[in-house]
Homo-oligomer: A and B are copies of this chain.
Amino acid sequence: MTHHYLGLDAGGTSTRAVVVSIDGLCKGVGKAGSGNPTSAGVDAATTAIRAAVTQALNAAGTGQVDGAALAVAGAGPAGHKAAIVAVLADLVASEPVFDFDVLAAYFSGTAAPDGYVLLSGTGASAVRVEDGRLAAISDGLGWLLGDIGSGFWLGREAVRAGLAPLDGRGSATLLTDLLLDRLEISPVAEREGGRTGTLVAATAALYAMPPLRLADFAALVFTAAGADDQVAAGILDRAAAGLTETLAAVRTPDVEGPLVAAGSVLARQPDFAARVAPGAVVAYDGLAGAAVLALRHAGVVVDDAVYRRVTSSLAQLTEV
């Protein structure tokens, strides 16, 4: 027993791993590509997860760790989990515990066992945490069926609103120019099947991407709204109303704990985070929370002193 544990936060963009000692000292971190088995495929995801973990173990110099908490977005089916466990078998002494990635986000903002997290990254959801566990979740239903106010939702609205004036619909908006700039499409006046070449080129480029990549256009809404564009401001109003409703759905008077705001949209847009989650602690990634989950599963009581040790030692490892 080395009394070291592994925390892992694997998402659609990157996978990050941290080795933490039983007293809360983070000793090594590792980073690799997407570890989401649903979006990246099981083989690529398990390869990334092993790479991030190996890197963290080498940096910590601890060898095999005693246990692990794995927060892996998209690791639904049992087959995914079995593949991840198999690829870590020689690196972790006991069976790893899978946890919800929203919990890693939550514990990246607070050590309190009871509270709330509102998340808007590629997806969007709100969670109530009780006794360190997920007690209730609202939305998080994915890009097709929910995720109101998420990066995907914002990006799709930006693209729809930006394209509309190109065939005479909607209101004029800065989003059109911002979208064409981003797609590197110059205006083409010639028509093809009743449409301008500009619109034909833009829709072809957008349909050539995987649908989820529309999340990349979320930032255009903030740019345009910052320049007083009314269409973009309207999109932000609807996103804020949706996220506010999502958070309200998990609130209960019985749980008074802190509120954490997480996910790339909220972490990068402090004004918007303050609007939908007033008073929230903003969590910039899920790595500290993954370390906390690992310690909790090892039976460690993560009090304020341990939590401060986790976050400050982690900051030293990652700020280079």
Chain A residues close to B by CB (< 8 Å): 100, 127-128, 134-139, 141-142, 144-146, 156, 159-160, 163-164, 167-170, 193-195, 199, 203, 206-207, 211, 214, 245-246, 248-250
Contact = CB atoms under 8 A, between A and B. Distances in A.
Contacts of A207: 142, 144-145
Contacts of A159: 145
For the complex of A and B, 10 pairs with smallest distance between CB atoms: A168-B249, A137-B194, A138-B167, A134-B194, A169-B249, A136-B194, A169-B245, A138-B168, A141-B203, A138-B169
A118 to B, nearest CB: 13
21 contacts: A127-B194, A134-B193, A135-B194, A137-B195, A138-B167, A138-B168, A138-B169, A141-B199, A141-B203, A142-B207, A144-B206, A144-B211, A145-B159, A145-B160, A145-B163, A145-B203, A146-B163, A146-B164, A167-B249, A168-B248, A169-B249
Contacts of A249: 167-169
Nearest to A199: B141
A138 to B, nearest CB: 4
Nearest to A170: B245
A205 to B, nearest CB: 11
A221 to B, nearest CB: 16
Given A142-B203, A145-B160, A167-B249, 11 more contacts: A136-B194, A137-B194, A138-B169, A141-B163, A141-B199, A141-B203, A144-B207, A144-B214, A145-B203, A145-B207, A170-B245
A144 B169 contact: no
Given A160-B145, A168-B250, A245-B170, A100 B137 contact: no
Nearest to A191: B136
A142 to B, nearest CB: 7
A249 to B, nearest CB: 3
User: Which of A100, A168, A206 is most buried by chain B, counting CB atoms within 10 A of its CB?
Assistant: A168
Nearest to A250: B168
A22 B163 CA distance: 43
User: Which of A128, A137, A159, A206 is most buried by chain B, counting CB atoms within 10 A of its CB?
Assistant: A137
A61 to B, nearest CB: 36
A283 to B, nearest CB: 19
B156 A139 contact: no
